[in-house]
Amino acid sequence: MSPSIAITLASASPRRRALLERAGLEVRIAPPEIDETPHPGEAPAALVERLAREKAAAVDASPDAIVVAGDTIVLHGDEILGKPRDAEDAARMLTLLSGSSHEVLSGWCVRRGETLRSGVVVTRIRFRTLDLAEIERSVASGEPLDKAGVYAIQGGGAAFVESIDGDRDSVVGLPLGAVLPEIRRLAV
């Protein structure tokens, strides 16, 4: 990457920041304020890509700055699993995910000036069957309570994963395999 190009992350997510820094990028944080309410009838993939584009567009950055944004949801069947309301809801979600597969949809956007490039990466995760004690321990740890989809694959939730089909980084919060080539293209 060119040292003259600044990366602005349109997110307060420490996980997204860590992913970009692990890739050797210097990151400035600028979380935007946008309405994340789904539009009526909006498909989950369209939602995460729209939100990533809106986040990238909402950040005030110099014309030479590269802005990176992302949005991630967990989809179990037709249900979007957001952050649990409370411990009971977290236990319900973990029970739902136990012994089944779900998708993590990660919308991303890279912007430089008026140029926006975006997409969606879908990763399929299968959880092993969890027993009640594991679910209770997980909820008691507090980790699931502030996580959309009720687990962190880079944390305690990794023990629940039986298989991953796709990009692990997108489950953490940002699909570097899609984002880094676009950063390189826009940095030229």
Active site residues: 71
Residue ranges of domains in the chain, CATH in brackets: 7-187 (3.90.950.10)
pLDDT band for 61, please (50, 70, 90 cuts): confident
- What average pLDDT does this structure show over 61-76? 92
Q: Is the pLDDT of residue 36 over 60?
A: yes
Q: Is the pLDDT of residue 4 over 60?
A: no
* Full DSSP string of the chain: --TTPPEEES---HHHHHHHHHTT--EEE-------PPPTT--HHHHHHHHHHHHHHHS---TT-EEEEEEEEEEETTEEE-S-SSHHHHHHHHHHHTTSEEEEEEEEEEEETTEEEEEEEEEEEEEPPPPHHHHHHHHHHSGGGGSGGG--TTTGGGGGEEEEES-HHHHHT--HHHHHHHHHHHH-
pTM: 0.90
What pLDDT digit, counting tens, does each position of 152-174 carry? 999 999 999 999 999 999 999 89
pLDDT band for 82, please (50, 70, 90 cuts): confident
